[in-house]
Amino acid sequence: SAFGWATELKAESFSSVSPTAIASEGDETFVVGRYTGKVSGDGKTASAEGGSDILLTKVKNGTVEWISTYGGTGYDGARALALDGAGYAYVGGYFQDTASFGLAASNDLKSKGDDDGFVFKVNLATDAVSWTTSVGGTGADNIHALATTKSGIHMGGLYSGNVTIGSTNVSAVDQGAFAAPLDASGTLGATTSFSNSSKAAVDQATLLPDGSVVLIGTFSGPMTIEGNAITSAGTGQAHFLTRLVP
């Protein structure tokens, strides 16, 4: 195979760039991740406000068209990206303290404790954010997975301790895995939590043609999914795979 094009997202001195997810539509490619210091590409630049900031970059035919950055003074980053095929993307990840997303200050997200998870919807032509939402409690919470659905998206990730996600209360002894739908306006639906006595997380999600969502994640120790008990071997992590039917 021959290379069609190559481009660079360059970190300046004492800076770093960590891409975590990529998605494409036609000749446009979108990359999310986190960065520190200053990042540049094809004359476009961005500077982090805090320890690390959220990065969203649009590349068209090998040229960086824009670099957008979000976050605050803490350590923030993106972990998941999903395109809806209608000119919008959903981005998920984590943030600390207060994070801004280019909207009015009243729409800033404020963490309830350690890391909280976030999801935002963004216009891919203009990089304008439509809405943001957050998930979290006093412990560490994170969004790792996003999959577009007919009515919006399905998200998955991890939470710590006792957390209210939308109108659903979930609880984990240590770190639990969860999944929940959001409609196109950012309203959360019923949350599914996977019972675990140790650590678990949803890491990837994908939509099937029948509208159901398949989740893959990691866990250690015993875990129960819809009454089915599974156990990881030894003290290490194992992977689980499950299908959610709407």
The residues of the chain scoring below 70 in pLDDT are 195
Say what the pTM is. Answer: 0.94
pLDDT at 156: 97
For tokens 């994640």, what's the residue? 217
The pLDDT assigned to 246 comes to 76
The predicted pLDDT at position 217 comes to 95
pLDDT score of 213 = 96
- Rounded to whole angstroms, the Cα distance separating 233 from 246 reads 31
**Residue from 73, 30, 31 nearest 52 by CA:** 73
Q: What is the pLDDT of residue 224?
A: 84
pLDDT (0 to 100) of residue 44? 95
Q: What is the pLDDT of residue 237?
A: 87
- pLDDT for residue 15: 85
- Nearest CA to 217 out of 124, 165, 135, 143 is that of 143
Q: What's the start-to-end Cα distance of the chain, in Å?
A: 40
Residue 40 is predicted with a pLDDT of 95
